[in-house]
Structure 1
Amino acid sequence: MNKPKKNRTTSPSRIKQEQRRAELALQKKRTRLLLIGSTLLVVVIFAALFVLATKNTDNPGGAANPVSFNYDELPRLGKADAPVKLVEFGDYKCPACARFSIVMKPLLVQEYIETGKAALYFVNMSFLGPDSKTASLAALSVYHQNNEAFWTYYDALYANQGNEDTVWATEDFLVELAQSANLPIDYDLLRKDIQNRTYAGELNRDNAIAKTNDVRSTPTLYINGIKADNIFNLSAVSAQIESAAKAAGTE
């Protein structure tokens, strides 16, 4: 005769022990995942900081790597011994450059250039069209005839700027503009320089300076070799100029 099987049941204490073991195992797993995640986050943060530090060190124009310009070979507005040197990269066909010339430059001239604290220099970055180069060649011709006339011509070019999408900076236009501005130069020589591309070498040099220093847009402004972040924010530019003047040992 078969004996009936006993009904085996788990005691409440055993159930609690199993639950406790499961909870401990789950807690260990969560702790392990948290540690792994924290470690990965720390690694990512340090990697990002390393990349940022490297970028700031390697990129020209950063505080750790200011650009060195040969100021003597550039058109200059202001005193040669001014402690703060502003270098603008510009294209005469660039609408934003025209805005800088009309809006920002007069403020910088009044506040810093006329007071002797800063001088403004110009580097051509002619990339918007073939007549960008023609305009630059004309401006370089004016510069080599008369540095003061260069800045009058600079203003006239931007004040009379044509549409960015059209070819407006032609030889005739550029010579006539110089005549309209009554520049104290030889207009026949200006025309000859444009035709012969007399200063093509200097224009290539300027564009090479832009490329070497990773200048990607116009206008771009450097203040004692350090790139300005927002050149249409007068407060920001002024703060950087004052900081540069202080670093140069002037008030």
Structure 2
Amino acid sequence: MPKKPGKPSASSKPSTSSTSSKKNIAIGAGVALAALLLGAASYSATRPDEPSSVTAKEEPAADVSADPQAGVYPELAKLARRDAKDPLAQGRADAPVVLIEYADFKCGYCGKFARDTEPDLVKKYVKDGTLRIEWRNFPIFGADSESAARGAWAAGKQGRFWQFHAAAYAEGSKEKGFGGDRLKELAKEAGVKDIGRFSDDAGSAAAKAAVKKDQEEAYGLGATSTPSFLVNGRPISGAQPDEVFDQAIEQAASAAASGDGGKK
């Protein structure tokens, strides 16, 4: 039986003022319990290399992988935003399958997924219109995580989110930190044209609000670790093998084609 997922520290919890926004997610008690798989099956490798003032409890490496045959929850599928103008998403807004990723730029396994798995998913499923990938900033490892999330959002304001994403997740990148000067370096590497605007956007109230919205959505699901995913309402935790995502996506696409919405 998996351990009960740990709670984030007081400094990383959403404030009490966010309670109403979390209720708006409208997931029932049963679905919320199932969604705790996002936290209970976490990998110890999600922790950063250095200590953080914000502590999200890590579990030992999970013996149980996310099963593509596990339950699909329509309430969770509704979290897909399908905004055609969302710069933190790629793929058709009307794609039959939406993969939502909750991730942190300080997370080693998030980087593994970004480098080893996601490019293949884009080639196989995004390019043919089957899959849409929607990013959610879920910073849980302190100030650097927050800075990177806001920087990524700011890069998106100039249409360079995915290029910033690739630069931030490159081998050895997170070890250099995500301070102000480092964010500018990454922005330049990502091809962001107006660095002054980028810095202003990254430090803006709008950036903070956007990151907080994503973070609260993840906490509202019971997620305590990164990366965590939803594939048409099916929870998957951790940087699982490629075949886990392939199977989940193909099953969701088949279910969408048959008109059952992914429900068994």
Normalising to structure 2: TM-score of the pair?
Answer: 0.66
Q: CA deviation at 1:65?
A: 5.2
* Aligned residues of 2:104 and 2:145 also touching (Cα < 8 A): yes
Q: CA deviation at 1:57?
A: 4.3
Does 1:155 pair with 2:166?
Answer: yes
Does 1:224 pair with 2:198?
Answer: no
SS of the aligned residue for 2:203 comes to helix
Instruction: Indicate the structure with greater helix content.
Output: 1
Q: CA deviation at 1:124?
A: 0.7
Please list, as runs of the form range in 1=range in 2, the aligned pairs for 1:1-251 lying within 5 A after superposition.
Answer: 57-59=31-33, 61=35, 62-64=71-73, 66-67=75-76, 68-69=78-79, 70-72=81-83, 75-146=88-159, 149-159=160-170, 160-163=172-175, 168-183=177-192, 185-228=193-236, 231-249=239-257
- Determine the structure 1 residue equivalent to 2:54: none
CA distance in structure 2 between the aligned counterparts of 1:108 and 1:214, rounded to whole angstroms? 26
> How many residue pairs end up in the alignment?
192
Query: Which sections of structure 2, spanning at least 5 residues, go unmatched?
Result: 1-27, 36-70, 260-264
Stretch moving more, 66-75 or 119-128: 66-75
Amino acid of the structure 2 residue aligned with 1:191: S
Amino acid of the structure 2 residue aligned with 1:245: A
* Aligned residues of 1:83 and 1:250 also touching (Cα < 8 A): no
Aligned-residue CA RMSD in angstroms? 2.3
CA distance in structure 2 between the aligned counterparts of 1:229 and 1:197, rounded to whole angstroms? 31
CA distance in structure 1 between the aligned counterparts of 2:147 and 2:92, rounded to whole angstroms? 29
- Determine the structure 2 residue equivalent to 1:33: none
SS of the aligned residue for 1:249 comes to helix
Q: CA deviation at 1:232?
A: 2.0
Larger Rg over CA atoms:
1
Cα shift readout 1:13-54 (whole Å, capped 9, x = no counterpart): xxxxxxxxxxxxxxxxxxxxxxxxxxxxxxxxxxxxxxxxx9
* Aligned residues of 1:84 and 1:118 also touching (Cα < 8 A): yes
CA distance in structure 2 between the aligned counterparts of 1:217 and 1:229, rounded to whole angstroms? 8
Cα shift readout 1:153-204 (whole Å, capped 9, x = no counterpart): 11111115223xxx71011111111112323x32110111233454101111
- Determine the structure 1 residue equivalent to 2:8: none
CA distance in structure 1 between the aligned counterparts of 2:152 and 2:31, rounded to whole angstroms? 35
Counterparts in 2 of 1:124 and 1:60: CA distance versus 1, 3 Å: farther
Cα shift readout 1:129-152 (whole Å, capped 9, x = no counterpart): 101101111111111221xx1111
Normalising to structure 1: TM-score of the pair?
Answer: 0.70
Counterparts in 2 of 1:141 and 1:64: CA distance versus 1, 3 Å: closer
CA distance in structure 1 between the aligned counterparts of 2:212 and 2:95, rounded to whole angstroms? 27
* Aligned residues of 2:201 and 2:207 also touching (Cα < 8 A): yes
* Aligned residues of 2:231 and 2:249 also touching (Cα < 8 A): yes
SS of the aligned residue for 1:199 comes to helix
Query: Which sections of structure 1, spanning at least 5 residues, go unmatched?
Result: 1-53
Q: CA deviation at 1:98?
A: 0.6
Amino-acid identity (%): 28
